[in-house]
Amino acid sequence: MIKVQFWGVRGSIPTPGRETIRYGGDTTCIEIRTGNELIILDAGSGLRRLGLDLLSRTKDQPIKGHIFITHTHWDHIQGFPFFTPAFIQENLFIIHGPHYDDKYLHQILAGQMATEYFPIPIDFMSAHLDFIGLSEEKIKIGKATVSSIHVNHPGIALGYRVDYQDKAVVFTGDHEPYHFFHADPIKQLEVNGEILSAETTDIERFTGKLDQKLVDFAQDADLLIFDTAYTYDQYQNGKKGWGHSYPEYAVKIAAQANAKALALTHHDPTDTDDCVEAKVAHTLQHIQQQGLNMECFAAKVGDVINLD
Ligand SMILES: [Zn+2]
Ligand SMILES: [Zn+2]
């Protein structure tokens, strides 16, 4: 069984307040449990409460966990300085993130704790912290496997897939449909031994291949958690190139991948709970119109999903 718990579902900036209380205002953080292993996807502001919860759950026992950061934009790392378990010597955290150089990830996380931004330097975190830079690879964590894929977002960003027993959860991280190219790592693609380049390949063919690569990555996921910050209309009217997706695109990828359930996330800071619910209703209608059989809901802070 994989246990998934949402601690942060908001994009861009924490949005506390009466209008976001049902879905939650904390930025991205997802806890995944595979047997005894603790896997955390992203260190947005939701990580603060997860840290406190881990301490109360484990009492005085040491905590060991893996944190996989999709990318280092603020809303995906800003909870890290407030992650209390990292200040306790007996604990161990292995922090993975997108870059070939392990030092780079440490620099970014230490950088947001420099005196200009934060009173406590990263060196005050007395837990054992390891930093590992990733590209597209597979990592064994106990009996689980975590795979990574480059996605389309300004800077370098990864999506993650966690496989355990015969269950899988996939998280796109921040991702925009491929017609608007961002990251260098996705501008070249190997298809059956042939190297395709975004510059020289027909755009429809190239984006089609990239979509297929994402579909393959998400194949048969029991839960696909997808960045759907915008509605299709918002995307078309001023949000193209901002690095995020909309539900129709998420449904297309989920359907082709045969995903069983689709969770919409990275709710826009301007989206009230009512907006989030309207987006889900619209997406469910779209799924029905397409004749698809797929569960769909909005990621909500506090929700626990057991994949078994
Ligand atoms: Zn984000
Ligand atoms: Zn981002």
| CA–CA separation, 78 and 218 (whole Å) | 27
Express each pLDDT in 122-165 by its tens digit: 999 999 999 999 999 999 999 999 999 999 999 999 999 999 99
Query: Please, is 97 exposed, middle or buried when counting C-beta atoms within 10 Å of its C-beta (0-12, 13-18, 19+)?
Result: buried
| Ligand closest to CA 71 | 2
| Listed residues: CB within 5 A of ion ligand 1 | 11, 75, 174
Q: Which ligand has an atom closest to residue 153 CA?
A: 2
Is the pTM above the cut of 0.95?
Answer: yes
Q: Which residues contact 32 (CB under 8 A, 6 or more apart)?
A: 2, 3, 4, 5, 38, 39, 40, 41, 162, 169
Query: pLDDT value at position 191?
Result: 79
Q: How far is the CA of 45 from the centre of ligand 1 (A)?
A: 11
Judge whether 296 and 284 are in contact, CB under 8 Å. Answer: yes
Asked which of 2-11, 115-124, 188-197, 203-212 is least confident by mean pLDDT, the reply is 188-197
Range 81-94 average pLDDT = 98
pLDDT band of residue 197 (cuts 50, 70, 90) is confident
What pLDDT, on a 0 to 100 scale, did the predictor assign at position 192? 78
Residues 257/219, Cβ–Cβ less than 8 Å: yes
Query: Distance from the CA of 153 to the center of ligand 2, in angstroms?
Result: 7
Backbone angles phi, psi at 268, to 5 degrees: -65, 145
Task: Using the predicted structure, report yes or no on whether residue 283 has a pLDDT greater than 80.
Answer: yes
> 243 pLDDT band (50/70/90 cuts)?
very high
222-245 mean pLDDT: 97
- Among all ligands shown, which has an atom nearest to the Cα of 155? 2
Q: What is the pLDDT of residue 129?
A: 98
Q: Which pLDDT score, from 0 to 100, does residue 122 have?
A: 98
For the chain, the structural domain boundaries read 2-307
* Beta-bridge partners for 32: 4, 39
Ligand nearest to the CA of 229: 1
**Gap from CA of 265 to ligand 1 centroid (Å):** 10
- Integer Cα distance of 192 and 4 in angstroms: 35
Q: Of 214, 238, 242, 208, nearest to 226 (Cα)?
A: 214
**136: number of Cβ within 10 Å:** 14
Rounded to the nearest 5°, which phi and psi values hold at 19? -80, -10
Whether residue 183 has pLDDT greater than 80? no
Residue 182 is predicted with a pLDDT of: 85
CATH of 2-307, one of 3.30.2320.80, 3.30.420.480, 3.40.50.920, 3.60.15.10: 3.60.15.10
Q: If you average pLDDT over every residue of the chain, what do you get?
A: 96
- Higher per-residue pLDDT: 189 or 127: 127
pLDDT for 1-39, tens place per residue? 999 999 999 999 999 999 999 999 999 999 999 999 999
Q: Per-residue pLDDT averaged across 94-113, rounded?
A: 92
